[in-house]
């Protein structure tokens, strides 16, 4: 099976590449944008820029893949909130081009979406068929992308993931040094501080408080399973257990054997909302259900401690 992968320098995409090559021997072609991988890739590459829909079309036309896993997304999510023309181009126009060209060449399209299509009301934990209720423009653009993919490409899967953490195998040694407003990279950040015996003061307001965080290699397994499947529709490729930020920090300390006493919730006075000024609104609660996805794919996702233990093993052993 020949797979075109976008976003291979990113957290999710680098894990798709690693899992596909180490465990399944899949033929991959990786789309390159701006960064060059620091660890060598053993695959062909093709240029692709989401700002240029013609380059999206020509990458697929030249590769003629059986499947496309679309992990690429803008890295500057804050800019999406203020520059809607740019956001629409990279997340909607590019997705339309990808869905149309996949239909034309007969490729299956696996579109990576986000738990942030939810969070503005509704009833968490959200099921695969819950109506989207995004809290920000990023989530809105993802919801539009999902709709385009399902209506334009007959052979498709939408894979929503959430709060991804783990090694970025294209950039080994990268450390996450700041707490973000979402759950993405949070355990990376906790490990960075706790292994230096530095306190972790967890934000408990203004940010994403509840989620179903996901180990990147487990997400990659789900995306590869979806690429090889003939099932259409929306799937939740994320951890199977919900958690708060504070609980996740405490679990990280326990699983990695760090001092749990270093973890505490931020006091109200420590939550300086001005630090978040200009940033996008985070949904407070973006928990996803996975029961229907697990049943359809006959695959059990990792819970919190299983994911963290596997993350620790990957850091120690350097492979998935
Ligand atoms: N991380 C999370 O917690 C999380 C949660 C929910 C959903 N997701 C979704 O999962 C997917 C992968 O996320 P990630 O965390 O792996 O992202 P990431 O680490 O930020 O990587 C983003 C990837 O997209 C590429 N990219 C950015 N702008 C591009 C452009 N204009 N043209 C082509 N490629 C471009 C980047 O290339 P360069 O390296 O060259 O810039 C990089 O490979 C995204 O769709 C994201 O929305 C992630």
Q: Does pTM surpass 0.75?
A: yes
Expressed in angstroms and rounded, the spacing between residue 70 Cα and the centre of ligand 1 is: 9
Cα pseudo-dihedral 254, 259, 260, 263, rounded to 10: -120
What is the rounded CA–CA span in Å between residue 274 and residue 294?
A: 41
Question: Pick from 95, 24, 34, 110: which is nearest to 65 by CA?
Answer: 110
Tokens of 128: 């695969």
pLDDT tens digits for range 53-98: 999 999 999 999 999 999 999 999 889 989 999 999 999 999 999 9
What is the rounded CA–CA span in Å between residue 12 and residue 184?
A: 11
Q: Which residue has the higher pLDDT, 292 or 319?
A: 292
Mutate which of 5, 12, 78, 283 for ligand 1? The one with the most ligand atoms within 8 Å of its CB, which is 12
Q: Which residue has the higher pLDDT, 273 or 35?
A: 35
pLDDT given at position 104 = 98
**Quick one: pLDDT band at residue 25, thresholds 50, 70, 90?**
confident
2-165+214-238+286-303 carries CATH number 3.40.50.2300? no
Please report the sign of the dihedral spanned by the C-alpha atoms of residue 36, residue 37, residue 41, residue 44.
negative
Query: Which atom of ligand 1 sits closest to the CA of residue 184?
Result: 3
pLDDT tens digits for range 105-114: 999 999 999 9
Nearest CA to ligand 1 atom 24: 72
pLDDT tens digits for range 137-153: 999 999 999 999 999 99
Expressed in angstroms and rounded, the spacing between residue 197 Cα and the centre of ligand 1 is: 30
Listed range (84-98, 176-190, 201-215, 265-279) with the worst mean pLDDT: 265-279
Q: Do the beta carbons of residue 236 and residue 289 sit within 8 Å?
A: yes
Q: What are phi and psi of 201, to 5 degrees?
A: -105, 110
Nearest CA to ligand 1 atom 43: 7
Task: Check pLDDT > 70 for residue 267.
Answer: yes
Q: Which residues line ligand 1 (CB under 6 A)?
A: 6-13, 33-35, 48-51, 71-75, 90, 112, 114-115, 161-164, 182, 184
**Quick one: pLDDT band at residue 277, thresholds 50, 70, 90?**
low
pLDDT given at position 275 = 67
Domain boundaries, the chain: 2-165+214-238+286-303
Query: Which atom of ligand 1 sits closest to the CA of residue 48?
Result: 33
Q: Do the beta carbons of residue 182 and residue 163 sit within 8 Å?
A: yes
């Amino acid at each position: 099976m020949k797979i075109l992968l976008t976003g291979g320098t990113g957290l999710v995409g680098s894990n798709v590449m690693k899992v596909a090559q180490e465990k399944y021997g899949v033929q991959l072609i990786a789309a390159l944008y701006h960064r060059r991988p620091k660890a060598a890739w053993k695959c062909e590459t093709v240029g692709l820029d989401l700002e240029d829909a013609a380059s999206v079309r020509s990458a697929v036309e030249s590769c003629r893949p059986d499947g496309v896993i679309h992990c690429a997304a803008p890295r500057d999510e804050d800019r999406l909130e203020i520059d809607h023309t740019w956001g629409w181009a990279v997340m909607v126009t590019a997705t339309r081009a990808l869905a149309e060209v996949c239909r034309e060449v007969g490729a299956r399209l696996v579109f990576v979406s986000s738990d942030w299509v939810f969070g503005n009301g509704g009833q968490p934990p959200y099921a695969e068929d819950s109506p989207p209720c995004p809290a920000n423009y990023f989530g809105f653009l993802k919801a539009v992308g999902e709709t385009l993919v399902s209506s334009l490409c007959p052979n498709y899967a939408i894979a929503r993931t959430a709060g991804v953490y783990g090694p970025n195998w294209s950039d080994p040694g990268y450390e996450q040094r700041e707490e973000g407003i979402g759950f993405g990279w949070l355990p990376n950040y906790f490990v960075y501080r706790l292994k230096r015996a530095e306190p972790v003061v967890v934000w408990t307001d203004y940010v994403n408080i509840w989620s179903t965080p996901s180990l990147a290699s487990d997400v990659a397994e789900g995306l590869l399973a979806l690429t090889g499947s003939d099932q259409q529709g929306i799937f939740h490729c994320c951890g199977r257990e919900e958690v708060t930020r504070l609980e996740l920090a405490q679990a990280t300390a326990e699983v990695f054997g760090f001092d749990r006493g270093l973890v505490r919730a931020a006091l109200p006075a420590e939550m300086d909302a001005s630090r978040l000024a200009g940033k996008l609104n985070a949904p407070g609660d973006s928990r996803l259900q996975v029961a229907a996805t697990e049943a359809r794919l006959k695959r059990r996702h990792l819970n919190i401690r299983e994911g963290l233990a596997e993350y620790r093993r990957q850091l120690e052993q350097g492979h998935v």
